[in-house]
Amino acid sequence: MCVTGAAGFVGRHLVAGLLGAGHSVKAVIHRQNFPSNFHSGNLEVIPAESAERVEKAIENSEIVCHLAAHIPRDWNDPSEAAECLRVNALLTLQLAEAACKGAPRRFIYFSAGAAYSFSRTPVSESACMYPVDRATYYLASKLTGEIYVEHHRRVRKLPALILRVGSCYGTGMPRTSVVSRFLENASNGLPIRVLDGGVPTYDFVHVSDVVGVTLAALESGDPGVYNVGSGTATSVLELACTVKEVFDDREVEIVVETTEGVAPCGFSPLSNEKAGETWGYSPLRLKDGLLLCRQAINPSNGRSDSQ
């Protein structure tokens, strides 16, 4: 089993899930250090800078999970486009090529559910992908990576699955993410500052759901594209209110700020019907996922849903 981007947020959770399920893992990392608490004789850590070792790891693995990606520091900076394309598209092409060598191997590519054209109702895998409104440079590169993988599936017969993941959150998520910022403020009894009137929407999916689908996809599921989200469009204001519910023993104030002009519309909710039919996928409710996050922040003060 080869996992690229193994030191990233989702990658770390996936490696832990794979090791827990008894798999041997070749973890490819770049820049970030791999967590020191991962101790397993079934784990081999491979630096991404060693191209030969990475390609050999792929060729010697029956399954490849490709999570490695360049995440821009500034989503609106066009100078990030080149690096996004180099890593998220061209590297994906290179790895798909390597996966086609020798015996067929299952190739799971983690893409972005946010690349759909905006819709207020859940979108299926056949909906239009046209990321021109927000995070365009990143999302366009992830979509290009999809196209390369799908080409290899259709033409080179690569048994590839593409997982279009929603806005993923959970323990160890980037501190700059909106979920992390809201949770940290609430935990410290500080006001939750909601921008853009709280209007933008996201499909928030807990990282455990993404790992669960991936573990199922290792063994079953026809090659092709699958959405992995919550199935619900949650506004930033609704997120703030849910975080406040999770920290109901705190005096948490929600401060809503408006901006001039039209607020960004956000991203579409994802229909999980295909993943549900294929793997019995049933995602956590947002409140339940946030409760898990709270328990990780304050283990002695975790709240149960019955409280």
Give residue-wise pLDDT tens across range 126-159. 999 999 999 999 999 999 999 999 999 999 999 9
Does 275 score more than 50 pLDDT?
yes
Stronger pLDDT, 103 or 213, i.e. the higher one: 213
Nearest in space to 63 (alpha carbons), one of 213, 207, 217: 217
Give the percent of the chain with pLDDT over 90. Answer: 82
Give residue-wise pLDDT tens across range 234-253. 999 999 999 999 999 999 99
Rounded distance between C-alpha atoms, residue 110 and residue 66, angstroms? 6
How much is the average pLDDT of 91-96?
95
Tokens of 169: 């959150």
Confidence of residue 281 (pLDDT cuts 50, 70, 90): very high
How much is the average pLDDT of 39-53?
83
State how far Cα 167 lies from the chain centre.
6
Does 305 score more than 50 pLDDT?
no
Rounded to 5 degrees, what are φ and ψ at 2? -115, 130
Q: What is the number of other CB atoms lying within 10 angstroms of the CB of residue 131?
A: 21
pTM, two decimals, is: 0.93
Does 38 score more than 80 pLDDT?
no
pLDDT at 49: 82
> What residue ranges define each of the domains in the chain, with the CATH number in brackets?
69-170+204-231+268-284 (3.40.50.720)
Give residue-wise pLDDT tens across range 150-184. 999 999 999 999 999 999 999 999 999 999 999 99
How much is the average pLDDT of 185-205?
95
Per-residue b/e over 155-187, b at no fewer than 16 CB within 10 Å?
A: eeebbbbbbbbbbbbbbbbeeeebbbebbebbb
